[in-house]
Copies of this chain bind each other. A is one copy, B any other.
């Protein structure tokens, strides 16, 4: 029921995912208003024997505060979707609904992996070399060194589960911390501490070092870890720049006859460019750190974007990324504890 367009996007998105993932035999529980969902199934003539509609009592509004959604949300479509994961009925939940509500309800129902505090949100974007994953992009406004390493752990496990096709066989994704320079002495206390901790802990990550903002578009590393404030600003700045650039290009190609004719002749190439830069091709941000798979699709998703979020959820559910996060988080915490003990006894 969630997102700017509700079932009118979710239902065709499910239909598309069903086709794309056919060889994995996906099954779908559609939580919400049965009439509204059925109307969309009929409208799009969706034949989905693996789809089951589950009536929900209510819908959480897109602008509801997380605390209120948590208190009053029991029985809503969003609540039930997460509940199905908890009960083992579903292997993943996908929602285009209220992000704060999804996070609060998921955290309440599924609980966090031992040692982790709050879910992190991941974004993936196209780069010259493939796809780069950035986290956190919004949930954690301030993060200390330990949390930054946790983001690195979660992002790396996510990347292998979902974007593994961009890696060579046996290759592990390179991981970097976002900073204002590559040199050791650059940056604030938290990011320096994160680098020290990651090197001390025996995590088996392919750690690259500090990276800068321009390294994201270059694809210098596959996983960029940063606090939620910086990550959110970086993501939205990149979106804004891409939109500005696309607008200027459109303006240039429609402002003169030469531009128009040129654009017409080059339309195949420009269409492929648009496809490559289409945010729906990398849409879908999982909430990482939970004991279960929950993927947030963009509120403004189109059916392709929603289908892609489902693909990400399926990839995660079919991988052992949760076990890997648990393992590496435990290693990290034992390093932190050993150091704290050493500091106390000194």
Contacts and interface: CB of A to CB of B under 8 A. Distances in A.
Interface in A228-246: 228-230, 232-246
A272 B255 CA distance: 11
A46 interface: no
A128 interface: yes
- Is the interface on chain A under 10, 10 to 19, 20 to 34, or 35 or more residues? 35 or more
Contact of A247 (B128, B180, B188): B128
B262 A266 contact: yes
A270 B245 CA distance: 12
A35 to B, nearest CB: 34
A265 to B, nearest CB: 4
**Secondary structure type dominating chain A contacts:** helix
B273 A248 contact: yes
A72 interface: no
Contacts of A241: 216-217, 237-238, 241-242, 245
A268 interface: yes
A276 interface: yes
B214 A237 contact: yes
A299 to B, nearest CB: 14
A251 B266 CA distance: 12
A247 B276 CA distance: 12
A252 B233 contact: no
A142 interface: yes
A244 B213 contact: no
A75 B220 CA distance: 40
A296 to B, nearest CB: 15
A242 B258 CA distance: 24
Given A127-B244, A217-B237, A138 B277 contact: no
B233 A218 contact: no
A252 B240 contact: no
B230 A214 contact: no
Contacts of A187: 141, 229
A195 to B, nearest CB: 15
Given A213-B236, A237-B238, 4 more contacts: A213-B237, A217-B243, A248-B277, A252-B269
28 contacts: A128-B244, A128-B247, A138-B180, A178-B233, A180-B233, A188-B229, A212-B233, A213-B233, A213-B234, A213-B239, A214-B239, A216-B241, A217-B240, A218-B243, A226-B233, A230-B233, A233-B234, A238-B238, A241-B241, A245-B277, A248-B276, A251-B273, A252-B269, A258-B267, A261-B262, A262-B263, A263-B266, A265-B265
Which 8 pairs between the two chains have the least Cβ-Cβ distance?
A262-B266, A213-B236, A217-B240, A259-B269, A214-B240, A213-B237, A262-B265, A217-B244
